Structure 1
Amino acid sequence: MTTLLLGCDFSSAPTVRKPIVVALGHERGGRVTLSQLLPFTTLDGWGQWLSDTPAWVGGFDLPFGLSRELVLELGWPATWPELMAHYAAMSRAEIRTAFAAFCAARPVGGKFAHRRTDGPAGASPSMKWVNPPVAFMLHAGVPRLLAAGAAVPGLHVGAGDGAKVALEAYPGLLARELIGRRSYKSDASAQQDTPRWVARADLLSALERGQTRLGLRLSLTHAQRDQLLADARGDALDAVVCLVQAAWSLARRDSAGPGYGLPVDIDPLEGWIATA
C-alpha cells in the first residue's frame, strides 16, 4: 500500500487570503507525484483534517523544538513532551515577554539561542517571534500535531499506532540548493515581479528534473505547474517542497537512530530539520 505523503506550508494565523497549504502525494520509484493541494483557513480545521486522516507521513514547515540552551536558561521542563505541554499552556504574550527578556540579557550579535540543526539547515532560530514568527508557529502547530496522534521521530512516540508521522521540514533548505539565494516569493504585491516568477520556474524545473541531492523527481500536471507558478506568495510551492522532503525521509524510515534519515545523535529536546 502506498503511503500518503504530505507537505505543509504553515501559518500560525491562517486567513482566506493566506491559508495553511497542504500538498498531498506519493512516491514510487524515486518519483514524487503531487495529487492535491488543500488550503485551510483556520488552525482548527487543519488540525481536524490531520486527526480525521488515518495515516500519513508529513513534512511540516514549522519548528518542533526549542534550543536546549534557551530551555535550561529559562528553567523550563527539559524533556520534550513536558516542554511542549508547558509551552502550549503559555499565551503568545507570555512567550514574547520571556524570549525578549532572554535576548535583552545577551550581547549584540548573540541575542538568540540556536538549535544544533539551525546551522546546517540555514534556518531561523525557533525562538524568533517576528520576521518570521516561528515561535508562534511552534506554539500553534505542535499541540495540534500531537492531538492528531502523530509520532515525532526522535522526540515523541505518539499516542496512535505509528501510522501518522510528523517531520520538521524547511523548504528554504532545498530551494537554496537549487536556485541559490534568489527570492522566489513575496507576500507584498509590489514585489511579486517577473524575477521571482522566473525563480519559481527555475526551482520547479530543477525539482522536476531531479537535480537535487535528494535523488527524487517531482511529477506535476501542466495545470499544477501553472498553479504553482502563479502563486506569487509561494505558499503552495513551499508545501510541495516539503512534500519532497517528506518523501526522502520516508525512504529512510528504517535508518539508524530515530529513523527517517535523522541523525543518530539527535538532541531529544531540540529535534532536527529533515534532510539537513
Structure 2
Amino acid sequence: MPAMRDASFFGIDFTSAPSARKPIRVAAGQRQGGVVRLAGLEALGSLDAFSAWLTRPGPWVAGFDLPFGLPRELVETLGWPTGYAALMAHYAALSRAEIRDRFAAFCDARPAGAKFAHRGCDGPAGASPSMKWVNPPVAWMLHAGVPRLIAAGVHLPGLLDGDPGRVALETYPGLLARELIARRSYKSDARAAQTPERLIARKDVVDALEQGRSRLGLRLKLSHAQRDALVADASGDSLDAVLAMLQAAWAAGRPRYGWPEGVDPLEGWIASA
C-alpha cells in the first residue's frame, strides 16, 4: 500500500452500458487525517473510456460499485474454474445470453425463496447476489467491469496481484447510505420518481457525511457548489461515487483493506462490510 499522504482516492459508480446520458461516475478525493476532500467529479461515457481511466498512474486506491466475484456454491455447481483468474477469464468469454441461461437453470433447480446463491459478504453488506441479471443487473456489471480491471493490471487485494500503486476494491454505496438514512430511498433514474422526498434524503446523506456521522470515522469536505451538485443529481450516481470513495479511503487505512479473517478468495469482500 502506498503511503496514505501520497495516494489519491476514487469512487466509481459503475454501469455496464455507459452512455452520455448515463455515464460511469468517478469521484476523486484526497485524505488528510480524518477528512476526505472531494477534488472533483468525472463522467466516463463508454467502457473504453473506463479502461483508459484505469491506466492512470498511481498511487491511488479506488472503490468500485460492482461485484468482483461469484458465489462459490454457484461456481462449483456449474463446474466452472475455482481459481479466481481462471474463473474470471471463463466468465468473460461467455456471452450474456449464455450466462443468463446457466444462471436461470441454476435458479430453476432451487426451491422458492432460495433461488440465488450468495457470497459471504452479501448478507453483512445487504447487497444483491452477484449472479443477479435483473433488478439490478449486477452480473452484467461484473462481466463488463472485472475483465477490464484485470486487463489494466490493477491490484485486486486478496484476489489477484497487480500494480501495488493502483488498488481496486469492491464497494457498495448502499451500505453506507443505509447507515446514515436507514431504508429511505434517495435516488431514481425515472424522472417521475425523482420526488422532493428523495431530494431531502440526498441532502440528509450529504449533511451526515460532512458531519462525519458514520462508523468510518471520516468527514467529507465539500465546496458549496459540490454540495449543491450532489444533492441536485436525482439519479444519485454522483453521490454513490462519493460514498464509494469514502469506503475506499476507509479501507486503505485498515489491515488487509478491511477484509475479515477467513474470506473466501474466490468470492472476495465488500469494503467496510
TM-score higher than 0.5 here? yes
Residue 165, structure 1, aligned to residue 167, structure 2 = yes
Counting aligned pairs with the same residue, the percent is 64
Q: Give the secondary-structure state (helix, strand or coil) at the position aligned to 2:80.
A: coil
AA partner of residue 170 (structure 1): Y
In the TM superposition, 1:207-226 aligns within 5 A as 207-226=209-228
Find the counterpart in structure 2 of residue 4 from structure 1: 8
Find the counterpart in structure 2 of residue 267 from structure 1: 264
Q: 2:208 aligns with which of 203, 206, 209?
A: 206
AA partner of residue 66 (structure 1): L
In the TM superposition, 1:45-56 aligns within 5 A as 45-56=49-60
Residue 18, structure 1, aligned to residue 22, structure 2 = yes
Find the counterpart in structure 2 of residue 186 from structure 1: 188
Quote the offset at 1:251 in angstroms. 1.1
In the TM superposition, 1:1-276 aligns within 5 A as 1-158=5-162, 160=163, 162-252=164-254, 255=255, 259-276=256-273
- Is the 2:173–2:243 contact (alpha carbons within 8 Å) kept by the matching residues of 1? yes
AA partner of residue 272 (structure 1): W
| Partners of 1:180 and 1:61 in 2: CA distance | 19
| Partners of 1:272 and 1:143 in 2: CA distance | 17
Stretches of 4+ moved more than 4 A in 1?
none
| Partners of 1:220 and 1:119 in 2: CA distance | 32
Deviates more, 1:131-140 or 1:44-53: 44-53
| Partners of 1:118 and 1:223 in 2: CA distance | 35
Count of aligned residue pairs for this structure pair = 269
| TM-score normalised by structure 2 residue count | 0.97
| Partners of 1:135 and 1:128 in 2: CA distance | 5
| Partners of 1:55 and 1:74 in 2: CA distance | 38
Quote the offset at 1:2 in angstroms. 2.1
Give the gaps of 5 or more residues in structure 2: none
| TM-score normalised by structure 1 residue count | 0.96
AA partner of residue 81 (structure 2): P
Q: Give the secondary-structure state (helix, strand or coil) at the position aligned to 1:106.
A: coil
Give the gaps of 5 or more residues in structure 1: none
- Is the 1:126–1:134 contact (alpha carbons within 8 Å) kept by the matching residues of 2? yes
Q: Give the secondary-structure state (helix, strand or coil) at the position aligned to 1:249.
A: helix
Coordinate RMSD, CA, aligned? 0.8
| Partners of 1:190 and 1:123 in 2: CA distance | 26
| Partners of 2:29 and 2:13 in 1: CA distance | 15
